[in-house]
Amino acid sequence: MSLKLRPQCKKSDSFPNKFENHWRFHCSRCQCVRHALRTTDRAQWGEPMYRVSEGVRSTHGQDGAIVLDVQQGQMFNLNCVGSRMFELLEMGSAEPEIVDAISQEFSVSREMVENDVREFIGTLKKNRLVTER
């Protein structure tokens, strides 16, 4: 399977619905699939939500992402899966939403993805790239 660069999408392609949720159109970088993701200000019961820290900038490409922490002067390189997880975090997705998206988009078992997402978020927290809301 070859991975293709997604078509250009505007970050502002979004719309509110009548239930006060915010739906953001997103083009999946690795599978060229356009779909809507729900982002809310609050996670489901007991699920922490994360916010990308101030001063953190990222750029996503076909092969992954570069994450720059301007305040700490550190740069991180992410593969395609890490890039997608970071994009979902930037959009305000909760951990279960990230697990579902990665499992579906990369055809990997949910159990494996749960562990990887938990570890990835732990590493981001350790490096102060994300904080809990």
113 occurs within a structural domain: yes
Q: What is the CATH number of the domain that holds 60?
A: 3.90.930
127 occurs within a structural domain: yes
| Number of domain units in the chain | 1
Residue type, 67: V
24 occurs within a structural domain: no
Query: What tens digit of pLDDT does each residue of 45-90 get?
Result: 455 689 999 999 999 999 999 999 999 999 999 999 999 999 999 9
Q: Is the pLDDT of residue 99 over 90?
A: yes
pTM (whole model) above 0.85: no
68 occurs within a structural domain: yes
* Residue 100 domain boundaries: 44-132
Q: How do beta strands 22-27 and 34-39 pair?
A: antiparallel
Q: Considering only CA atoms, which of 118, 120, 96, 100 is closest in space to residue 108?
A: 100
